């Protein structure tokens, strides 16, 4: 693997839709070594068809059984040593939410965490998901450092959303259950890279499209790059590309040097 590495993560809110909104040009401009995609809303063959238009990348796809829902993909310039789909628990493994790729120096985990839903109908499931995902991450971390990225569907601190008081324990993504799930990840020795570099910066990665939230910057930071403590010194920068449009989320990135 090359000395310098750029990884970009983006919830595209439908890969077929974003392919019509400048996706190829954005990818060319960003030129990541690895691109992690969440919420493809497509089946494997749909994603692979789009991948045919992108030269120089290996493609790994994990689609939900339900058509037009969830789904993840990774485009990588370097072929991984190994790849694994899902986390090995049946109740979690039908929605195409996790891709793990092993590289020389780290395991990369691309995740689209379940939303707790309107009226928090799925919050109990989400709580179990968070516990099982953490167990999976910790097991990987025992073997090789982990870079863990994606739409984690939680704002961790009040600084991570525009209206914390109005949303606390009322809105999916900012309940104490979800906040505790994130705290457990960080307490297990993982580091939120954006906060590592930008302790007090207010930046968001998601804006609800229904309320013109982006124009008013009423947003949430729910997309992350989280890394093992024993690889943080290799991370040289972490950033949010909130000037890039095309989805209700914007891309995020990290750069590493080995």
For residue 2, pLDDT beyond 70 = no
Whether the predicted model's global pTM rises above the 0.75 cut: yes
pLDDT in tens, 58-75: 999 999 999 999 999 999
For residue 24, pLDDT beyond 70 = yes
- Phi, psi (deg, nearest 5) at residue 165: -65, -40
The percent of residues in the chain predicted with pLDDT above 90, rounded, is 97
112 is catalytic: yes
Confidence of residue 126 (pLDDT cuts 50, 70, 90): very high
Topology (CATH) of 4-257: Deoxyribonuclease I; Chain A (3.60.10)
Give one DSSP letter per residue of 38-72, joined into a string: E---S-HHHHHHHHTTSTT-EEEEE--SSTTS--E
Which is the catalytic residue, given 33, 86, 103, 112? 112
- Give the start-to-end residue ranges of the domains of the chain: 4-257
The two three-digit tokens of residue 218, written as one number: 């009423």
How much is the average pLDDT of 116-143? 97
Confidence of residue 211 (pLDDT cuts 50, 70, 90): confident
Evaluate the CA torsion angle 41, 127, 197, 74 in order and state its sign: negative
Per-chain mean pLDDT for the chain: 97
Which is the catalytic residue, given 33, 130, 141, 151? 151
Confidence of residue 200 (pLDDT cuts 50, 70, 90): very high
Q: What is the pLDDT of residue 1?
A: 62
- Phi, psi (deg, nearest 5) at residue 246: 130, -20
Q: What is the pLDDT of residue 3?
A: 87
242 is catalytic: no
């Amino acid at each position: 693997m090359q000395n310098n590495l750029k990884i970009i993560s983006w919830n595209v809110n439908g890969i077929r839709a974003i392919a019509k909104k400048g996706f190829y040009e954005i990818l060319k401009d960003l030129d990541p070594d690895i691109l992690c995609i969440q919420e493809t809303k497509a089946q494997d063959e749909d994603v692979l068809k789009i991948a045919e238009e992108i030269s120089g990348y290996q493609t790994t796809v994990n689609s939900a059984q339900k058509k037009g829902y969830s789904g993840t993909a990774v485009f990588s310039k370097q072929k991984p040593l190994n790849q694994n789909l899902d986390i090995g628990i049946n109740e979690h493994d039908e929605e195409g939410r996790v891709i793990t790729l092993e590289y020389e120096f780290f395991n990369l985990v691309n995740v689209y965490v379940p939303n707790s839903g309107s009226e928090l109908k799925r919050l109990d499931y989400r709580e179990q998901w968070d516990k099982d995902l953490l167990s999976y991450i910790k097991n990987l971390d025992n073997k090789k450092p982990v870079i863990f990225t994606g739409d984690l569907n939680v704002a961790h601190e009040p600084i991570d959303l525009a209206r914390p008081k109005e949303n606390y324990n009322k809105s999916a993504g900012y309940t104490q259950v979800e906040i505790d799930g994130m705290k457990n990840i960080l307490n297990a020795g993982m580091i939120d890279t954006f906060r590592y570099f930008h302790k007090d910066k207010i930046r968001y990665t998601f804006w609800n499209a229904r309320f013109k939230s982006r124009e008013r910057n009423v947003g949430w930071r729910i997309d992350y790059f989280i890394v093992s403590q024993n690889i943080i010194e290799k991370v040289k920068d972490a950033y949010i590309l909130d000037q890039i449009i095309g989805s209700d989320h914007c891309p995020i990135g990290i750069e590493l040097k080995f």
